[in-house]
Amino acid sequence: MKLKKFLAMSLTVVMTTSLLVGCSSTKQESKGKNSTKVNSRKENNELVVSVGSEPEGLDPTTGGHHAVTRVFFSTLLTRDKDMKIKNDLATEYSVSDDKLTWTVKIRDDAKFTNGSKLIAEDVVYTFETAGKSASVVDLTAVESIKAIDEYTVEFKLKEPQSTFVNKLINIGIVPKDLHDDKYATNPVTSGPYKFVQWDKGQQIIVEANEDYYGEKPSIKKLTMLFLDSDAALAALKSDEVDMASIPASFADQKIDGKVLREVDSIENLGITFPTVKSGKKTEDKNPIGNDVTSDLAIRQAINYGIDRNELVEGVLSGYGTPSYVGLESMPWYNSEVEIKDGDIEKAKKILADGGWKDSDNDGIVEKNGLKAEFKLCYIMETKHRQEMALAVSEKLKEIGINAIPEARTWDNAMEILHSQPVILGWGEHDPALIFQLFHSKNSGVDWYNTGFYKNEKVDEYINKAMTSKTEEEALEFWKKAQWDGETGIAPAGDAPWAWLTNVNHLFIMNKDLDIGTPKPQPHGGAILENITEWKWK
């Protein structure tokens, strides 16, 4: 059965009805009064965008960098559109020969929006505070931080860590003297925009920071609305917003004066496999292991049997790319991991060579009396995950594997996280993700190495990458952890995951809006990172 036809027949009535309600009109002409609104915003260099979910707060020391907060904060370093590391607040940085001391010199012309100078003490305070909080930023590798002088900061690490550079990229700097319990809702910052107001549940308004040391933004006033997909589409049609993120199901909408923009991503979806046999339990009494997916032949056969291009076309309407290890478009990606997928004959041969045969002619292969059958769980976050599960399940029947789709919520997913294959999403601008997902040290830790995968050679490569002096030196080892010609996390190797697709990010925007060249979008999105490039044509 063709994938698109199968998905159309399989999706629930609830989701179909929701889609029809949200997409009942394929074209809406802009009214005269709404065109006047847009023209007014263009003339005044103002912009209204829908940014999806609302942040819990605007304090980078406690909640990391939500997509919204990136318009406010300066960081020591940044990455350009090609993912190369560039200076932001830093003018230079160096790493000692023993790889334990990172010295960063910062510019002397940066100011916070209250007019005070940004100095080394602010950097020290920010990192120390982030390290002490229950932040999403892991700073456990830091031994000490101190200001050498007014514009020089020294970080001492407990052990070498090449990925520490990403902490310098991701942590926004806060003012030491103004950081209090009200900061998260009324921040004083040093980035391209300054905070104006936050109407909870509705919007955040910011204005261009005229004292910003970097490229001054062309957009002078930015209003960020918190709208779901249906509301964002309606707002686009009425010209209340100039730009909004949309799901692929809305991509065929024709709205007068608007265009579709597709942005490359590392927003990856994949299936994580339990790689150990069943029998053990977590401290919370949840089962660990799966007797079917712990067999390498099963995991490899699934990797070869699924058709990633078919998933891109059928589930993502063409707005995406195949994924093999979840690292595509990053500098540390090893392209040698790519295989000919949708190869049913090879998948069947792998199973047969591994001792899996359909001896009772029921369409499901078995080995030593064990059926190749398991639940394929997905979390009902977006309909993509449901569609992926349905499509993969249908495809695997062709090679004799019975993957039974099962919906889960975030609340009950942990019960099966280590014992059943689960479709999860990842994607970061940080190679440390390889360490988190595939190093045996992280087995069963949070949502990381959920399948308890362990390969001593892969651990060795990851350790060498982590303890390299620079990101450049680490690249060789990150790539070998994926595939060294004999082993690795690749589909032809241990295949602890069956990565499926990169989900490209889609935006409908005013035809006269230029958003420059965004970076490949990470999981969750970061479209505002290059906001200083945005302008009305």
By the 8 A CB rule, do 462 and 476 touch? no
Q: Where in the chain is the domain with CATH 3.10.105.10?
A: 266-457+486-503
Beta strands in 228-278 (DSSP E): 243-246, 254-255, 258-263, 268-272
pLDDT of residue 63: 72
CATH topology of domain 60-176: D-Maltodextrin-Binding Protein; domain 2 (3.40.190)
Instruction: Give the other-Cβ count within 10 Å of 237's Cβ.
Output: 21
What's the pLDDT tens digit per position in 85-97? 999 999 999 999 9
Cβ atoms within 10 Å of 427's Cβ, excluding its own? 25
- d(C-alpha 98, C-alpha 160), whole Å: 8
DSSP string, 298-321: HHHHHHHHS-HHHHHHHTSTT-EE
pLDDT, averaged in runs of 10, over the chain (537 residues): 38 30 34 72 97 90 75 95 96 98 98 97 97 82 97 98 96 96 95 97 96 96 95 96 93 94 94 97 96 98 98 95 96 97 97 97 97 96 88 98 96 95 95 97 96 98 98 98 98 98 96 95 91 96
Where does the chain hold its CATH 3.40.190.10 domain(s)?
Answer: 31-54+188-261, 60-176
Q: Could you tell me which CATH number the domain at 266-457+486-503 has?
A: 3.10.105.10
**CATH classification code of 31-54+188-261:** 3.40.190.10
The structure's pTM equals 0.90
**Apex CA 307: angle with CA 430 and CA 388, to 5°?**
70
Predicted confidence at residue 66, as pLDDT, reads: 67
Check residue 52 and give its pLDDT: 87
pLDDT for the residue 65: 60
